[in-house]
Amino acid sequence: MCEPERCPEEEDAFECRYLSWEELEWEGGESPRAVLQEALNGLRSDDWKQHFTSLQRIQALAKFHPSLLADDIEDIASAVIKQAESLRSGVSRNAILTTEHLGKGLPAEMAKVAVTLVPPLAQKSVSNKRFLADGAKDALSALTTEEAAGESVVMALGSVASDALDRKDSGVATQAAHFLEKALTSVRYSASDVTVRAILPTAARLLDASRPAAKQTAQRIVSGLYDASKAGALGGLLESVTDGRLKRNLQTCIDAIAKKKRDDGKAGGSTQGRGGIREFIRAQQKAKTVSDPAVIVVAGKDRAQNGMAAQSTDVSGNPSGNPSPRCD
């Protein structure tokens, strides 16, 4: 990945070498368990150099002995991501790289640590230090592959996007939306109805985001859910939401998607997409998939149930008279 370089902001000759997955090697000698214990002890020390080398030991373990890390992945992930906040930018960068390697080496375990890793990585993805931002995006990419992405990752990204909208942090909201779409694509939009009902309100709010990239991502998410026949969740959300602007935005988007598919169907002889909003509501009523409207309204901070809670705040900051966003 990188040639050895002097750690940023350091006067001595300690070399920071950030190792790509392909460059990682197992030196042998000590047992893997002993290496893990030394690494955890090093992360608890006050010596930043030990922090750096301990992170590299965990990277090597993730590649060559991932099963050893699996049982304690929550504690290990917490210890690693803590170093991402280090004032030593070299250590922070290496900690972020370590989360990427954990995602590659233990993809099946990422569901257990999504809530721990996703929020700080999303925040780092907008760092004004480009090497930290780029590293965080690479790490989030590793967590949203077909092997690693799952309901927990989807829910964590939806929650981060919702929290960012609450704070009017358009940068984090845009990045979270991007990786939410990537995670949904990786699972082929096959998330459960519970998860869909939790993330849909956030997607609806993103339709009104200040950044065009976030709006366009939200449009693709809603379109993907439409294609995945999530009619019950979509119709249930539209019936239960109380915020007029939020409801109008989502309805406009779904109607535009339905019209486009109707037009495409006419050209190809298909009837898919006919009926727009009414089709969704009828399907929802027939399937009776929606139970508690409070779970559906808008995803928020309380993760007590399904990792999301209800909100209905319009955080766009745009005048209420602005037209609803297009979804084409």
Domain boundaries, the chain: 1-108, 196-328
Q: Which helix (H) or strand (E) holds 6?
A: strand 5-6
For the stretch 125-142, pLDDT in tens is 999 999 999 999 999 999
Q: Alpha-carbon distance 77 to 110, whole Å?
A: 10
Residues paired with residue 305 on neighbouring β-strands, in sequence order = 308
170, two tokens? 């358009």
| Residue 31, both tokens | 């047992």
49 close to 14: Cβ distance less than 8 angstroms: yes
Residue 111 in contact with residue 153, Cβ under 8 Å? yes
∠ CA 262-267-272 to the nearest 5 degrees?
A: 35
Q: Of 80-84, 255-259, 267-271, where does mean pLDDT reach its minimum?
A: 267-271
Please state, for a pLDDT cut of 90, what percent of the chain lies above it: 56
Identify the weakest region by mean pLDDT among 166-175, 277-286, 303-312: 303-312
Give me the amino acid identity at 301.
Answer: K
Integer angstrom CA distances of residue 48 from 137, 189, 280: 24, 42, 56
- What single string gives the DSSP state of each residue in 179-201? HHHHHHHHTTT---HHHHHHHHH
Task: pLDDT band for 287, please (50, 70, 90 cuts).
Answer: very low
The gap from C-alpha 253 to its chain's centroid, in whole angstroms, comes to: 22
What is the Cβ-side half-sphere exposure of residue 211, based on CA atoms within 13 angstroms?
Answer: 17
Check: pTM over 0.85? Answer yes or no. Answer: no
What is the average pLDDT value for the chain, to the nearest integer? Answer: 81
Structural contact between residues 201 and 240, judged by C-beta atoms closer than 8 angstroms: no
Q: Please give the Cα distance from 218 to 200 (Å, whole number).
A: 9
What distance in Å separates the CA atoms of residue 189 and residue 226, rounded to the nearest whole number?
10
Listed residue (186, 273, 289) closest to 236, CA to CA: 289
pLDDT for the residue numbered 289 = 41
Which residues, in sequence order, are CB contacts of 255 under 8 Å at separation 6+? 276, 277
